[in-house]
Chains A and B, each alone.
Chain A
Amino acid sequence: MMQDTVRDLGRFVEPDRVHRSVYTDPAIFEREMETIFHKVWTYVGHETQVPKPGDYYTLLIGRQPMVMVRHEDGRIHVLYNRCAHRGAMVCGALHGNTGKAFTCSYHSWQYHTDGTLESIPLPKGYEGTRLSPGSPEFNLKRAARVDSYRGFVFASLAEDGPSLLEYLGDAKIAFDDMCNRAPAGEVEVIPNCFRVIQHSNWKIFLENQLDALHPSVTHESTGRAALEVEHDIEKRNGKAPLDYHYLSAFTTPFHKWDTVQTVNYPNGHCILQGYMGLRPQDPDTLAYEAVMRKHYGAARTEDILGVNIHHVLLYPGLSVQSPLQQLRAVRPLSVDRTLTEIWHFRLKGAPEAIYRRALGYYNLVNSPSTMVNADDLENFWRCHQGLASEGGDWVSFHRHAGQDDEKDGVIMSRWGTSEAPMRNQFRAWTHYVAGGR
């Protein structure tokens, strides 16, 4: 029965609608783990998350418990968090520093931070057995491929497939835009991760990220509340902190959202243009722009600051807001539970006031007390519950279907509220679950 469900997943996806099973069927979820998350490049973390040798950070890639660790030669390795002896995870904590070696808590097998076996206690007893300490079989297994782009580390559990740069494609602008905005051309992670679990399938989160149709409905309460207080502060003080604008921007009416374009790439990545107008002319911004001109020259500075994007989605697991230096990694836990890990970054060489903007957004929009995601999470839960019902079999992505512009496989929406990003994600999904790379 289950086998039948997953045999031909293509029939669940039509150009303008998808079958509800793709969100709710545990067998399809397992297939996604195998054909998508265990194959594609997954964001592991930022290099500055593990600055010193021995620093490590654990994470899930698909179903696999992994650990990113800095080796003594400065290289970063991504290893399976599994002792070669009896299978215990060698790292029990979320992050820390393991010194020169990982030591298994069960029988004290020790591994170098590049995964190679360092020692087994009581080595006598293995003579004449098939255990040979030099064999890779008795190391901590490495992710098949590890690569990084501008400090952002990715791993793939598949030996072959597109390189990281091929996988990122034009969506690498997420990292270029973020890093270029730093006078030093680099960013540094703030060592704090907010983790939020949503009770819904992972795809519902990704679809929501670039859904310009939802903000003025879902976030109306927060938009209105922030707008009222923003006006009130302006009346009293002349101007309100930018933080209020992050929230009051949700009152943007539908017709304005339609002017925001999405650019959709064949492998599911998508860029949503900016709408918040984040280039005010206050003294902090002007001071920052002066520093930028000193590093890049006037023309290049204009190019960098003129990049107008709100979100970049790297399918299937990463959402980046480069102008505000935020990043959300999506870790599916089960068919109806999804963890998001949320980070923010400091632009190296930029004045403190510019960091405070990223921080304000991180605290207000992305912290566990968020007044924004609160209502998204409610919707995600409602969607998942509704999709598990027999009240209907299909999810509608009809909005502007067949009305987007396509060139060389890249789909450009003519209207911001076109459901092009969702249709496009399923284009990639269909490709992956059928075994495509």
Chain B
Amino acid sequence: MARTAKKSAPRRKRATAAKGAPVKRIVKTNGAYDTQRQVEQFLYRQAEFLDEKRWSDFIELFANDGLYWMPASPEQTTGEGVPSIFYEDRNLMTVRMKRVTHPHAWSQSPAWGTSHLVSNVAIEKEDPRTSELIVRSRFHMMEFRRDASRHFAGTYRHRLAKTKDGYRIKLQRVDMVNGQGPYDYVLQVWV
């Protein structure tokens, strides 16, 4: 994995400007390190958009054909033709955004907020031809709503495409540990 990343990543001038022999070795591994760091920053930014309720910025992180998918059960391998908790393209995501920002979205009126933590970020795969990445991470989301807290935790699996504007999400799969249990109320927006 590290080897492919090394090949495709451009050498960075700034790194080579440092002095001494060990620097050369660092330069060689910098590509993978940069990719890891960029991916992490991308995931953190996505989580921030949710917590700051920047819905259109959140949607913009998805490729035009990108999908946000929360399977109904962990065994599912595709969202096509099977029940899902979320299975949304950008059009459906736009419906959700317009709904939650509508002044008469009654269930949105009590004060609510979320806090996401994203960690354990691992690049599972990098396609040497398309440079698409499969990135696995763990999340924990606390939601506070009308004097009560709920917790949701699980795994994100992002398929990311590299574009001239940075990464774009082709598919985000969200497997929640507590997704199988009964829901007190429902999920209003993406987790």
Check if A220 is an interface residue, CB within 8 A of chain B: yes
Task: Flag if B84 contacts A226 (CB, 8 Å).
Answer: no
Check if B21 is an interface residue, CB within 8 A of chain A: no
Q: If A197-B183, A225-B102, A339-B182 touch, does A367 touch B94 (CB 8 Å cutoff)? A: no
Residues of B near A339 (CB, < 8 A) are 182
Q: Encode B65-86 as 1/0 by CB contact (under 8 A) with A.
A: 0000010110000000111111
- In the complex, the chain B residue whose C-beta lies closest to that of A341 is B182
Bound complex: CA A109 to CA B147 (Å): 46
Task: Flag if A225 contacts B99 (CB, 8 Å).
Answer: yes
- In the complex, the chain A residue whose C-beta lies closest to that of B88 is A369
Taking CB atoms and an 8 Å cut-off, the chain A residues in 346-387 that contact chain B are: 352, 355-356, 359, 362-364, 367-371, 373-375, 377-379
Stretch from B39-47, B104-112, B123-131, B163-171 contacting the other chain: B104-112
Check if B11 is an interface residue, CB within 8 A of chain A: no
Check if A228 is an interface residue, CB within 8 A of chain B: yes
Residues of A near B102 (CB, < 8 A) are 220-221, 224-225
Task: Flag if A362 contacts B83 (CB, 8 Å).
Answer: yes
Task: Flag if A363 contacts B83 (CB, 8 Å).
Answer: yes
Check if A27 is an interface residue, CB within 8 A of chain B: no
Residues of B near A362 (CB, < 8 A) are 83
**Main SS of chain A's interface residues?**
helix
Bound complex: CA A198 to CA B108 (Å): 16
Task: Flag if A368 contacts B91 (CB, 8 Å).
Answer: no
Q: If A369-B86, A370-B186, A377-B185 touch, does A229 touch B106 (CB 8 Å cutoff)? A: no
Bound complex: CA A247 to CA B102 (Å): 15
Q: Count residues on chain B whose CB falls below 8 Å from chain A CBs.
A: 34
Residues of B near A375 (CB, < 8 A) are 105-107
Task: Flag if A378 contacts B83 (CB, 8 Å).
Answer: no
Residues of A near B185 (CB, < 8 A) are 196-199, 374, 377
Residues of A near B70 (CB, < 8 A) are 369
Bound complex: CA A242 to CA B191 (Å): 26
Stretch from A160-168, A187-195, A405-413, A424-432 contacting the other chain: A187-195
Check if B96 is an interface residue, CB within 8 A of chain A: yes
Task: Flag if A368 contacts B94 (CB, 8 Å).
Answer: no
Check if A88 is an interface residue, CB within 8 A of chain B: no
**Main SS of chain B's interface residues?**
mixed
Q: Encode B151-191 as 1/0 by CB contact (under 8 A) with A.
A: 00000000000000000000000000000011111111000
Task: Flag if B91 contacts A196 (CB, 8 Å).
Answer: no
Check if B87 is an interface residue, CB within 8 A of chain A: yes
Residues of B near A120 (CB, < 8 A) are none
Task: Flag if B99 contacts A371 (CB, 8 Å).
Answer: yes
Check if B98 is an interface residue, CB within 8 A of chain A: yes
Task: Flag if A229 contacts B98 (CB, 8 Å).
Answer: yes
Closest chain B CB from A252 CB (angstroms): 16
Bound complex: CA A379 to CA B104 (Å): 13
Choose among B83, B85, B187 the residue with the greatest number of A CB atoms under 10 Å from its CB: B83
Closest chain A CB from B99 CB (angstroms): 4
Check if A144 is an interface residue, CB within 8 A of chain B: no
Task: Flag if B95 contacts A225 (CB, 8 Å).
Answer: yes
Residues of A near B186 (CB, < 8 A) are 196, 368-370, 373-374, 377
- In the complex, the chain A residue whose C-beta lies closest to that of B72 is A192
Residues of A near B87 (CB, < 8 A) are 363
Task: Flag if B106 contacts A378 (CB, 8 Å).
Answer: yes
Bound complex: CA A220 to CA B99 (Å): 9
- In the complex, the chain A residue whose C-beta lies closest to that of B98 is A225
Bound complex: CA A243 to CA B106 (Å): 22
Bound complex: CA A197 to CA B150 (Å): 14
Taking CB atoms and an 8 Å cut-off, the chain B residues in 44-71 that contact chain A are: 70
Task: Flag if B72 contacts A195 (CB, 8 Å).
Answer: no
Task: Flag if B81 contacts A352 (CB, 8 Å).
Answer: yes
Residues of B near A359 (CB, < 8 A) are 81-83
Residues of B near A374 (CB, < 8 A) are 107, 185-186, 188
Bound complex: CA A243 to CA B104 (Å): 22
Task: Flag if A371 contacts B104 (CB, 8 Å).
Answer: no
Residues of A near B82 (CB, < 8 A) are 192, 359
Bound complex: CA A190 to CA B72 (Å): 12
Residues of B near A244 (CB, < 8 A) are 95
Q: If A226-B95, A369-B186 touch, does A344 touch B107 (CB 8 Å cutoff)? A: no
Taking A194-B83, A379-B106 as given, write out 11 further A-B residue pairs in contact, using a Cβ cutoff of 8 Å, ordered by the A residue number: A190-B83, A192-B83, A218-B106, A224-B99, A224-B102, A226-B99, A359-B83, A363-B87, A368-B187, A369-B85, A375-B106
Please report B residues at the A interface, Cβ cutoff 8 Å: 70, 72-73, 81-87, 91-92, 94-100, 102-108, 181-188
The 6 closest A-B pairs by CB, nearest first: A225-B98, A221-B102, A378-B107, A195-B182, A221-B105, A225-B99
17 A-B residue pairings within 8 Å (CB atoms): A192-B73, A196-B186, A221-B100, A225-B94, A225-B96, A225-B97, A229-B95, A233-B91, A339-B182, A359-B83, A363-B83, A367-B83, A369-B70, A371-B96, A373-B186, A374-B185, A377-B185
